[in-house]
Structure 1
């Protein structure tokens, strides 16, 4: 099983119809927002999140909206996996607009001019905007920065994910991940965005035999095109920061799972197949070790990173992990426990590009931004299974 990457612990708001319109902001910080200190205001800012309809991006957008920020989500709605996952995420995010519009127009029946004025005010202060575009498209990227900016921070989470997918499609992965990130950073420079945060991956550690992995380790032995692309992104990010003095944070995510997770990732696949009584593919003997990280913890780390700019307009790389490691066999057993059924195992050899262990040294993230993961694997799987049982869009 390859490390995945791609928040609050409360349930998401009710689903609402998709729309590209947005509305006025409730700037009362949520309890999650209030726990973040940071050197940047935690409300009323304008952030661009690429990959904003995806797994981590969707959860991040929701937390930012809850605390009062304006959010622009850019996503190309790729068919790499069931696009209904992204569409349902967008419904949740759009509900932050529609709930406020309902309040604004429910007090009385306004006359025509008053209604027009309210609509104009709502549009000027809209909270969430979705832009369907490819961040590798220079013209599309610049249009977003021109029409939706100025941005106070850009969070680049969009990527072509998948270690195994990258083995079969290396050129696509290089184009999307490396060129795509550079497109975003070029726009950050051109449109004078003061700060950027970009996603990297634990896969950059490659065949390292030193665990837990520290950001100070030399990472020059990636074993998949995906890992190589993410390490390249870090190096281009360092060069960008050195040349332009724009602060930049790169975050190495460790095997992220949770509600609305990608269906190609192990957590979702195992839960679904075990629930249906279908065999799961287990690569290797199950002794491979992963630091599984619940999505709430990852998003909390991203928000802390947004709120705490590197000192001296600097560049930094930080690990974000779940705090403990587990074998693949432990992971499967935990899913069996919460699904309530035993797994039928289809035993297969190790996959090309897989590593034996991922384990995060997180002293740097704690010292820099105060990051501390909170959700255990047992609790995270319990929540994920609960979401799965109530998920309306698993088929199709």
Structure 2
């Protein structure tokens, strides 16, 4: 079935020269980008280059203009890090230790004064490696949610925005970033080597992991504090979505690079899950109806902001500067969409303290030792109080009932 789909899409995309092709669905785009044949789209790999070619041809089929330094592409060189605690870094040198990656950039020119940047990273972890949470050897990490979903939504929005009835008071720059998993390389490189005048960028929208909208329809939106009007706009267009806001313009995705260049940002995220950075993040687990809902929501925000002049930038509190250091971990995936009191567990890692103590998905940690846990920040501060080998009583809320378990870190 996947082979047939790939052949169909290849014919669809490669045949588009003068005539416009019918709209490709987000499901079809995710199926191509998260196919085993791309080997997990690791930054600089042959599989990632295939993905870049596919995205460029999709941009062309939509009718967008190339806006890279080489057609749709903006190449950059980097030196991969062999130290798991150190990010990769750019380099202008060309030798055996350097690798080349490329952003894919397209432009919708409405002859407007200002431009809106819409981005999503298309790289992933390849066969696994340091960033993987899979512990059973090499395996293809297809990254359907992370972040084929964001790229598919980028393409869907690009297609919607070039239609006649779409908002036309801004230009739109669409960027599929490489190197996000290596440390925001592609977005960082673009901001330092832009292909448009970034002083005329009104705001930037970023989509990273938007393919797992839950049954409560909860969507996290980061960066609402980066311009005075954004908070109101984000909430006014929510519709049936349950929005969890975060003021900060800093976070672990490509919007951060633009925020640090004094550009207002919004980052959209449907939440962490047990398949994150594992081979099991595959197409069949993506909620495509949810993606349609999120895409329509983002489009409504763009439409709402169309009548605004260039958005003023506002600095926000940088949460990354106040995150405490901690030497131990529970071995859980937090539910970043949880807005109640405590830290709700969204996944349990094998053979780690939480699993050994009998903690379960859905448990809400409300206390660790003598330290109250009210949110993610207080959870991390509590963790920073413990040393490896130390034991502590952890209080959890399980289905409305408080339980106390002993955890050894």
> What TM-score do you get using the length of structure 1 for normalisation?
0.28
Structure with the bigger percentage of strand: 2
Structure with the bigger percentage of helix: 1
Bigger relative contact order (CA 8 A; separation at least 6): 1
> What TM-score do you get using the length of structure 2 for normalisation?
0.27
